[in-house]
């Protein structure tokens, strides 16, 4: 069993839909990261959180430490949100362990 598991692996949505991507982890963490990787390959850090909820524009990230679970929500999705979304957990020191990613496609 991977230390970090994401679901779903692939997600197709229509423009405007509300999207949720889930991440579960099995180890103690210092922080959880959500990353976005566009088709060109560049990786952007969306959120780093250790408790509660963070919001940036149409993106919302939540974490439940007791349940070892995090969700990334996208409201009013748009085709430009199409990307791979990667969950990563920070464990000892600065080490990050990554999930396999969720491929999101938003159709116009």
Partner 1 sequence: DAGVIQSPRHEVTEMGQEVTLRCKPISGHNSLFWYRQTMMRGLELLIYFNNNVPIDDSGMPEDRFSAKMPNASFSTLKIQPSEPRDSAVYFCASRQTSGRDNEQFFGPGTRLTVL
Binding site for partner 1 (CB under 8 A): 33, 35, 41-45, 48, 86, 88, 92-101
Residue with tokens 């396999």: 100
Q: Tally Cβ neighbours within 10 Å of residue 108.
A: 7
Q: How far is the CB of 1 from partner 1 (least distance, A)?
A: 15
Complex with partner 1: residue 42 or 108, whichever CB lies closer: 42
Contact by Cβ (8 Å): 32, 91: no
Smallest separation, CB 43 to partner 1 (Å): 4
Q: How far is the CB of 95 from partner 1 (least distance, A)?
A: 6
């Amino acid at each position: 069993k991977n230390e970090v598991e994401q679901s779903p692996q692939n997600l197709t949505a229509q423009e405007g839909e509300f999207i949720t991507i889930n991440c579960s982890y099995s180890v103690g963490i210092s922080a959880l990261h959500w990353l976005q990787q566009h088709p060109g390959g560049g990786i952007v850090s969306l959120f780093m959180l250790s408790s509660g909820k963070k919001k940036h524009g149409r993106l919302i990230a939540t974490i439940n430490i007791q349940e070892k679970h995090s969700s990334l929500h996208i409201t009013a999705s748009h085709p430009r949100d199409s990307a791979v979304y990667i969950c990563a957990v920070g464990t000892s020191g600065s080490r990050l362990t990554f999930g396999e990613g969720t491929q999101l496609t938003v159709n116009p």
